[in-house]
Structure 1
Amino acid sequence: MGLLASVTEPDIRRHLLRDEGEVIVDEVRKHWVAYVRAVLELVLGLAILVSVPFLDPDLAWLPLLLGFGVLAHAGWKALHARMDRFVITNMRVFRLHGVLAQQLATMPLSRILDITVAKPLTGRVLGYGHFIFESAAQEQGLRDIRFVGRPDDRDLAIQRVVQRSGLRGPRVVN
């Protein structure tokens, strides 16, 4: 892993229980829609910087500072979205997020009672949705997973893993 990747990519494999046979079924990155706000801020910051040569030289430092501040915030928002990962394994689901301080929220497959897939109108058009997990412990760090690309496919992947693990009982075939 290169220097840039070590800063911009979370180390998912480090959190796997390899000695227990845990393998990744799906690693979910944020849908591109999650980056729209950061891109809009980037455009705003660039517009502010482009306007600097047309301003009074004595006051140009203020828009220059503001432009760089907006660009830095846009970069931070983009990095925050990039570092947020939702992972489905054969034993559990977990979410790793955070840039400087990282948080890991884990839920064993046996504790998943219900998954709600919320797809707003824009999500239906652009191909993203939000997962809402229900478990016996209602308030956990894994309740809301936002901006999941191909949410129906990801939901089916979770259901398949739960079924294959034998947690829902045997399949009934007529």
Structure 2
Amino acid sequence: MALRLSRLVTPQTYRRMLVSEGEFAVDEVSRHWVTRVVPALFVVGGMAAFALMPFLGRGWALGLVAGVALGGYGFYRLHYEYMDRFVITNMRVFRVHGIFNQHLATVPIARILDISVEQPPLGMLLGYGHFVFESAAQDQGLKRIQFVPDIEHRDLTIQRVIQRAGLRARMEWTEDGDDGS
């Protein structure tokens, strides 16, 4: 029972890997801290509602309800963001998210055709971006991963895994830029 309840508290991405087949994590990424700003503001709003309770007189119950609602929602969203993980392994990339209803989306490394990196102006300033995956599958479960911290580093990690898996041709560089043909 305790093991099952721990699934609500930590993402446990290691359970999703095919260790017996030699799969290992290359990188595990939680979402950028900017996704926690709005939920934290809800928590602060809940604390403010509690702080105002003594000044509300007979309406103290309204402050209590507002504090519990704002704080509870804020803590839930903070935990939801914490549980959202993007994992790069030597065989695939996958995302696990959700608390009570967990969702797993996977794309094998061999099926990744194209990776686009989007970085909005705020993302360039704060150091995050979004991945858009194009795979060989018609209907894919993993299309867009948002708010990835240090997106350039994560993109290079994925490209390195693809290269080491031998899925992309390696071209040797010649001094004059000619490929020898």
TM-score (norm 2): 0.89
User: Which residue does the alignment assign to 1:134?
Assistant: 134
Contact preservation (8 Å) 1:49, 1:63: yes
How far is the alpha carbon of 1:138 from its aligned partner? 5.3
User: Which residue does the alignment assign to 1:8?
Assistant: 9
Q: What is the alpha-carbon distance in structure 1 between the residues aligned to residue 144 and residue 170 of structure 2?
A: 29
Larger Rg over CA atoms: 2
How far is the alpha carbon of 1:137 from its aligned partner? 3.0
User: Which residue does the alignment assign to 1:28?
Assistant: 29
Paired AA for residue 66 in structure 1: A
Contact preservation (8 Å) 1:8, 1:82: no
SS of the residue 1:155 aligns to: helix
Runs of 4+ in 1 over 6 A off after TM superposition: 1-5
Unaligned runs of 5+ in 1: none
Relative distance call for 1:6 and 1:125 in structure 2 (3 A) is same
Q: How many residues align?
A: 173
CA-to-aligned-CA distance 1:8-61 (integer Å, 9 cap, x gap): 31111111111111110000111110101111111111111111110122x211
User: Which residue does the alignment assign to 2:57?
Assistant: 56
Relative distance call for 1:52 and 1:126 in structure 2 (3 A) is same
Matches within 5 A, 1:73-92: 73-92=73-92
Greater mean deviation of Cα atoms: 134-143 or 154-163:
134-143
Paired AA for residue 56 in structure 2: L
| Pair 1:17 & 2:18 matched | yes
Q: What is the alpha-carbon distance in structure 1 between the residues aligned to residue 138 and residue 52 of structure 2?
A: 50
TM-score (norm 1): 0.92
Q: What is the alpha-carbon distance in structure 2 between the residues aligned to residue 66 and residue 152 of structure 1?
A: 41
Q: What is the alpha-carbon distance in structure 1 between the residues aligned to residue 16 and residue 117 of structure 2?
A: 26
SS of the residue 1:56 aligns to: helix
Q: What is the alpha-carbon distance in structure 2 between the residues aligned to residue 45 and residue 90 of structure 1?
A: 43
Q: CA RMSD in A?
A: 1.9
